[in-house]
A and B are shown apart, each in its own frame.
Chain A
Amino acid sequence: MKHLHALGLGAVTALGMTALSMLPAAAAWEPTKPVEFIVPAGTGGGADQMARTLQGIIAKHDLMSTQLVVINKSGGAGGEGFLDVKGAKGNPHKIVITLSNLFTTPLATGIPFNWKDLTPVAMLALDEFVLWVNAQEPYKTAQEYEAAIKAAPDNTFKMGGTGSKQEDQIITVAVQKALGKKITYIPYKGGGEVAVQLVGGHINSSVNNPIEAVSQWRGDKLRPLCVFDSKTLPYTDKIQGDLSWSSVPTCKSAGLDVEYLMLRGIFMPPGVSDEQVAYFVDLFKKVRETPEWQKLMKDGAFNQTFMAGDEFKAWLEQSETIHKGLMQEAGFIAGN
């Protein structure tokens, strides 16, 4: 407000002058009212935590001139949130964070939307998946666990996961295919609950995201066997004994040829201008440089790939095809 006064002093057309003076300072588009940040999932989950951390970082470092308001719309496996954004054509004051349900929800439920109905902004990170067993089990490596599954009759082993016909179950189906044995999949509401059920011995394994199970690993209650990524994780801070995320082998190297990463990306409603998209790409680039974001990435052992523009669109295209193929094979596509 200071420069507003300085400019206005003595000027006859003070209002006009200040209006003009604001323009060159912010040539690009800027939000003029609070921005709604839709989370197509419930409170407390991975997407919600990330959204609330983003909200905190943006507020703390004053990265945006208006407020960012987090709103959870979790109905219909997130379909409610996506439909809301799809319906807000041309509204630049609304963004949505996605998880894999961007692809799986329309396929599994038939709720009418597709990522192409939204405007892709940026990929913030990719979430890893790790194969976990209870630390009291005798399996020290993924190979030993695979051998145990192969040696037992179908459905002896129980895999717990978050939600139904979503990422965890897709990975379970892929594991089944790779091993040639059926595994019973038991869906739970949240990743934290899955980890606790594994500690309690009510399931045999899980494919929890790192952040959901890391404290149980630190407490030596759970053991990570392998990570479903093409290369091992870069994080070398010690977590349990001498072990760190970087000491967890890839599943592929352990004879389990399954890879899966989950998108943590930002989208806007359809029909927004390139300028408006550019504003948010820039905003999230700034967020990525803050120490708080770096800490979140390290704590959750995220894959820190960042993408925007055509590169991001090409990735989405490819990822959609992969999901369609996996879900078709598993028989998860809604019949309509």
Chain B
Amino acid sequence: MDMILDNFNHLYHGFGIASDPFNILLMAIGILLGVIIGVLPGLGGANGVAILLPLTFSMSPTSAIILLSCIYWGALFGGAITSVLFNIPGEPWSVATTFDGHPMARSGRAGEALTAAFTSSFVGAFFAIVMITLIAPLVAQFALQFGPAEKFAVYFLAFASFVGMSKEPPAKTIVSMMIGFALACVGLDMVTGQLRLTFGFTELLNGFDFLIAVIGLFGIGEILLTMEEGLEFRGKAAKIDPKVVWKTWKTLPKFWVTSLRSCVIGCWMGITPAGATPASFMSYGIAKRMSKNGKNFGNGEIEGVVAPETAAHAAGTAAMLPMLALGVPGSPTAAVLLGGLLIWGLQPGPMLFVEQAEFVWGLIASMYLGNIVGLILVLTTVPLFAAILRIPFSIIAPVILVICAIGAYTVNNNVFDVLMMMVFGVLGYLLKKTNYPLAPLVLAIVLGPSAEEAFRQALLYSGGAVSVFWSNGLVSSIMGLGVIAGIWPLIALLFAKLRGTSAQPA
């Protein structure tokens, strides 16, 4: 109890530092820069922060981290904009937002979707910050229990819940996921240090970057589909005004259960540290299963925007905790911020909270203020962003194409990647036409390498014994959950049979 009171005391001082006018100005600048970075696919939070990092060398560490973390919050907010409007997720964790966000925009509800996305982001982030404030020192201890086996169990749960909870036929989900795993294998094999599936092409050394795949599959694929269906945006008739924001806010409290569940999933995944991407997918999958309107998910259900956005932001924010307390970045952006901390002469680790209390609590206070400033800024600009949809498709399509190409190039400064993006675009178009879900493919590209790494590290540790995945309570229970999630359709079928009702396909 003393510890928590102590934390509040520190936080109070932190607010004093963060609410300095100069720091508030930095917050606003950071958020705006972040939103722009988030909107441009390929640039992404990690790159944006890396590019702007040198600017901060002359500032005090506290001001610097406030600016950079606000860029990060801004990018988290901004990632939702392109996901909803153009079906191009700016960041891995925005992929799940496209599932219902984009259909909403197409049916003329872009403003509603954006408001829901931003508000949920805020709720998720806020929940995570409160959690950080309350239990910072305890959580760091929990994260230490995650070795390779436990990490693999978390990834397994993400994959399994996607197969089991998806409304697509499980077979198609698995096929799509396997294509993703195969693509994820290309490049350097982390465990043996050997190249694989590069066939002597130096262009393939880096493997298939997730961003290239996503920009192609979603962005280019979407343009190809739209072209086939006639050169116009369906969201053209969208009428946007500030009232939409209030109207959406009135409907949001209905989803408090989904929201709360997503917050918990997000915090858990952010700390463990599996990250925001599995959190958003898992939260979406579970919401779809639990919601009354679950069947309508994928056709523009507002709850389908709330779930992944809340979880992604809770996870993205919670990921700051292991970074500060352990020096383990929970996301690529956190990794770059970690580099910044070291340059400013701060050593992340268990002692940071003790030795640099002013810095840490200044940062935590800035998270509260930064997210409030962020929410106000992005909400006031919703009408502006939604207005983009009123521009004729024949003008906007080439612009999107150029932005996609620039994005693909920026990832590795490589022209080959732009060609790869085109190939992925055609692949995305074909998969959509044949009704294969794209999300499992992307999930596999994003998490496949980490899952493989954790799996093989665990087996190296155990000397090849698979029993390592059932060796303690923590790993067994996560694996158990995963197995249940994976075979859920079968369980549901069994229950239905037992009850004697007609079997409903899951």
Contacts and interface: CB of A to CB of B under 8 A. Distances in A.
B373 interface: no
B53 interface: yes
Contacts, number: 146
A186 B461 contact: yes
A232 interface: no
B154 to A, nearest CB: 15
Nearest to B195: A109
B413 to A, nearest CB: 6
Interface string A120-132: 0000000000000
A52 B206 contact: no
A108 B194 contact: yes
Given A109-B193, A188-B457, A196 B326 contact: yes
A190 B144 CA distance: 16
Given A48-B339, A164-B193, A184-B463, A202 B148 contact: yes
B435 interface: no
**Do most interface residues of chain A lie in helix, strand or loop, or is the interface mixed?**
mixed
A70 B187 CA distance: 23
Contacts of B347: 214-215, 218, 299
B148 A56 contact: no
Nearest to B192: A164
A166 B193 contact: yes
Contacts of A76: 187-188, 195, 198, 202, 205-206
B144 A196 contact: yes
Contacts of B188: 75-77, 109
A59 interface: yes
Contacts of B332: 43
A187 B206 contact: no
A88 to B, nearest CB: 12
Interface string A71-82: 101111101100
Interface stretch (B72-80, B218-226, B348-356): B348-356
Nearest to B202: A83
Given A52-B54, A111-B205, A219-B349, A43 B147 contact: no
Contact of B190 (A185, A189, A221, A334): A189
A114 interface: no
B335 A44 contact: yes
Given A48-B339, A49-B343, A215 B206 contact: no
Interface in A103-120: 108-111
Nearest to A156: B463
- What range describes how many residues of A lie at the interface? 35 or more
B457 A187 contact: yes
B328 interface: yes
Given A56-B54, A195-B327, A196-B328, A187 B194 contact: no
A215 B194 contact: no
B46 interface: yes
Given A195-B327, A215-B349, A43 B194 contact: no
A59 B195 contact: no
B383 interface: no
Nearest to B338: A44
A203 B453 CA distance: 15
Nearest to A155: B463
Contacts of A199: 144, 326
B192 A202 contact: no
A56 B55 CA distance: 8
Contacts of A52: 50, 53-54, 339, 343
Nearest to B49: A43
Nearest to A110: B195
B349 A49 contact: no
B251 interface: no
Contacts of B144: 196, 199-201
Contacts of B335: 42-44
Interface in A55-109: 55-56, 59-60, 70-71, 73-77, 79-80, 83, 108-109
A36 B348 CA distance: 29
Contacts of A77: 188, 193
B453 A189 contact: yes
Nearest to A218: B351
A158 interface: yes
A186 B339 contact: no
Contact of B350 (A83, A169, A215): A215
Contacts of B338: 44, 192
A15 to B, nearest CB: 34
Contacts of B412: 73, 75, 80
A223 interface: no
Contacts of B194: 108-109, 334
A44 B336 contact: yes
Nearest to A80: B205
B342 interface: yes
Given A43-B46, A200-B147, A55 B54 contact: yes
Interface string B313-329: 00000000000001111
A163 interface: yes
Nearest to B412: A73
A80 B54 contact: no
Contacts of B336: 43-44
The listed residue with most A CB atoms (<10 A of its CB), out of B54, B192, B345, is B54
Given A83-B202, A202-B148, A216-B350, A196 B327 contact: yes
B207 interface: yes
Given A219-B351, A221-B350, A299-B345, A192 B457 contact: no
Interface in A282-317: 295, 299
Given A76-B187, A111-B202, A334-B194, A211 B342 contact: yes
Contacts of A260: none
Contact of A186 (B46, B54, B460): B460
The listed residue with most B CB atoms (<10 A of its CB), out of A73, A79, A165, A196, is A196
Given A109-B195, A197-B148, A202-B148, 4 more contacts: A43-B336, A184-B460, A184-B463, A196-B144
Interface of A: 42-44, 48-49, 52-53, 55-56, 59-60, 70-71, 73-77, 79-80, 83, 108-111, 155, 158, 163-166, 169, 184-189, 192-193, 195-197, 199-203, 211, 214-216, 218-219, 221, 295, 299, 332, 334
The 4 closest A-B pairs by CB, nearest first: A215-B349, A75-B206, A76-B205, A164-B193
9 contacts: A52-B339, A56-B343, A76-B202, A108-B194, A164-B193, A184-B460, A187-B457, A215-B352, A332-B193
